[in-house]
Each structure stands twice: as structure tokens, then as C-alpha cells.
A = this chain, B = another copy of it.
Amino acid sequence: MKNNRRTQAPRTQAQRSAATREALLAAARPLFAEHGFGKVSADAIASAAGVTRGAMYHQFDDKTDLFAAVFEQVEAEVVERVGAAVAGSGEADALTLMKRGAAAWLDACGEPAVHRIILVEAPSVLGWERWREVGMKYGLGLVQGMLEHAMDSGAVPKQPVTPLAHVLIGALDEAALYLARTDGSKRARREVDAVVDRLVDSLG
């Protein structure tokens, strides 16, 4: 037997890197979500991931860079979930699709990892500009796409999409935070759904 000294199976560099990156992301995510960026030390993250700060600073430029990676991961997940909810909900007119998307977004934001990281921490840690830049690739892009589709199909009158998308996103973001605060109240959820549905309808 050639490998009796090593209990660990040999791994490729890419596997090693991927493993520690994932461990760091997985460890950082709940910590950031619960305590916020400023109150989580690099050491706490590395420890939780079972590595040292050395490994972390090798994989990421700095703490902010690690946060950015977590942020993108969460964004990608959410847009995936929302996209799936919209796509898998059968045929419907543009406005109905938007309502379903909004509801899926509110669902996703139930998780603290989502609303705290995406909506509260990220703008301050990365700066609003970079925040929206990334958001454009994900959620904001999705909304803008649906709006354009709605305008093409005539469900919504033609108008500048970007400002409208921003205002809509803002409304949805705040709605999500409001719901996160009421912590699962059925009534609050119904009320918010009603407000959001009326808002979407008003676009037509």
C-alpha cells in the first residue's frame, strides 16, 4: 500500500481550493446574517470553517471580498428560486407573472441570510453603487426583464424601464424587510401581498 501514512486521500489543488472556499462561504454566511459584517471577525469565520485566517486571506483579498462572494452566492440562489417560481407557475399574462415573482421574492426573504445580507449589510459594506451593480445581474435584472416583456406585450405602457424597475425593487425590498420583522404573521403577509398586487396592477 502506497498511502498508509496519509489518512487523507490526495486531492488536486482545484479541489483543495474549492473545498476551503466553500467552507469559508458556508461558515461566513450565517455569521454575517446573524451579527452583521462589522461584528464578525475574520478569525471567527476561519475557525467556524475549520481553517486559519491564512487560508482565508489566500482565497480572498480581504474580509470585504469574502462578504462580496457570500453576497453574490445568496443573490444567485434567490434569483434562481424566484425565476423557477415564475417559470414553473404556468402560462399567464405579464402582470400575473410579476405578482408571482414578487410573492416568491417575499418568500425567499423569510430567511435572515437573505434579507440581512442582501438588503441591510450589502449596501453599506460594498457601497450602494457596487450593490446595485451586482443586483442588476440578478434581481434587478430579472425585474427589468419582466418589465420589458410586459411593455412589449402591451400589458404595461411604454416608459423608461430603469427608474421604474428601481422604484419597484425598492418597494419590494422594503416590503420584505417589513415582513421579516413581523416574523411570520399571516395577517401581515396577506396585507403586504394585497399592497404589492395593487401596486403591480397599477402598472397596467
**Residues in chain A within 8 A of chain B (CB atoms):** 36-38, 116, 119-121, 123-125, 127-129, 132, 159-160, 162-164, 166-175, 177-178, 180-181, 188, 191-192, 194-196, 198-199, 202
28 inter-chain pairs at a CB distance below 8 angstroms, sorted by A residue, are A36-B124, A36-B127, A38-B38, A119-B128, A120-B124, A120-B127, A121-B124, A123-B123, A124-B124, A124-B125, A128-B180, A128-B181, A132-B177, A163-B178, A163-B195, A166-B177, A167-B174, A167-B175, A167-B178, A167-B195, A168-B171, A169-B174, A170-B170, A170-B171, A171-B171, A173-B174, A198-B202, A202-B202
Residues of B within 8 A of A195 (CB): 159, 163-164, 167
On chain B, the residues within 8 Å of A119 by CB distance are 123, 128
List B contacts of A198 (CB < 8 A): 202
Query: Complex formed: what's the CA distance from A174 to B128 in Å?
Result: 10
CB distance from A120 to the nearest CB of B (A): 5
What are the residues of chain B within 8 A of A175 when measuring CB–CB? 163, 166-167, 170
- Copy count, this protein chain: 2
A38-B38, A120-B128, A194-B159 given; A174·B181 CB < 8 A: no
Chain B residues with CB under 8 Å of A192's CB are 163, 167
**Distance from A101 Cβ to chain B, minimum over Cβ atoms (Å):** 16
**Nearest-Cβ distance from residue A89 to partner chain B, whole angstroms:** 23
Chain B neighbourhood of A37, CB < 8 A: 38, 124
Contact of A167 among B128, B181, B188, B196 (CB under 8 A): B196
Question: Top 7 closest A-B pairs, CB basis?
Answer: A170-B174, A202-B202, A124-B124, A171-B171, A166-B178, A163-B191, A160-B191
A160, B163: Cα distance in complex, Å: 27
- Taking a contact as CB atoms closer than 8 A, the residue among B120, B160, B191, B199 that contacts A123 in the complex is B120
Residues of B within 8 A of A162 (CB): 178, 191
A171 to B181, CA, bound (A): 18
